[in-house]
Amino acid sequence: MALVPCQVLRAAILLSYCSILCNYKAIDMPAHQTYGGSWKFLTFIDLVIQAVFFGICVLTDLSSLLTRGNDSQEQERQLKKLISLRDWMMAVLAFPVGVFVVTMFWSIYIYDRELVYPKLLDNFIPAWLNHGMHTTVLPFVLIEMRTTHHQYPSRSCGLAAVCTFAVGYILWVCWIHHVTGVWVYPLLEHLSPGVKIIFFAAVTVIINLFYLVGEVLNNYIWDTQK
């Protein structure tokens, strides 16, 4: 694809995420007033990740246009750093976390929505906003992967970063339960301590698998496998 259409596409996606975040934060839900606020939900954290990522993509595109035809080595170095940050975020956060949120949410929702998204929330969150948080993330990140080649880090470093994020969020969820006595997700209320450990371990494995899927898919699309 040409550079300008890609720029417009990324800018549109960024604006859509900004709109989703603003509308979500404007909702007066009791859960937003409790310990941890919106930051206890992986969906909200993912929205922030996606917005920051596409913000960096737009900034990279603008910087690339501004430095085109410019022989400044310093500007070239700064652009390369920006591209490296963009690629790292895509590999470690935007793709694995985004795909994880979409697949896990809808898998549990189809099985029993009360375990992850109680019907009570329909009174606060309109259907379009729910899909903005839990559906469009996947096609947006796939579009980005298809339109731009991203340089993945070494597999060991990438998996270590994904594990750090996953374990960090799990510890955050456990800390919230320790402080409030309430689990962030109703599903966890129904699991015994031993099953919770297995569940958390499985979640960590799954998000690492999504990292590998992203790496393989990126290589397949851009034919970079040696």
State the average pLDDT over residues 114-119.
Answer: 88
Instruction: Quote the percentage of the chain above a pLDDT of 90.
Output: 70
pLDDT band at 63 (very low <50, low <70, confident <90, very high): confident
Contact 132, 27 (CB under 8 A): no
Quick one: CA dihedral 14, 17, 22, 23, positive or negative? positive
Which residues, at least 6 apart from 54, have a Cβ–Cβ distance to it below 8 Å? 10, 13, 14, 17, 140, 144
User: Would you say residue 98 has pLDDT above 90?
Assistant: yes
Which stretches of the chain are assigned E, i.e. beta strand?
none
User: Would you say residue 5 has pLDDT above 90?
Assistant: no
Q: Where does residue 10 rank: exposed (0-12), middle (13-18), buried (19+ CB within 10 A)?
A: buried
Judged by DSSP in three states, 72 sits in coil
pLDDT band at 224 (very low <50, low <70, confident <90, very high): low
pTM over 0.95: no
pLDDT band at 157 (very low <50, low <70, confident <90, very high): very high
**Which of 107, 172, 95, 104 lies closest to 138, judged by CA?**
95
Count Cα neighbours of 201 within 13 Å in the Cβ-side half-sphere: 6
State the average pLDDT over residues 109-129.
Answer: 90
State the average pLDDT over residues 104-131.
Answer: 91
What confidence score (pLDDT) does residue 225 get? 47
What confidence score (pLDDT) does residue 226 get? 47
- Cα separation values, 19 from 14, 29, 61, Å: 9, 18, 21
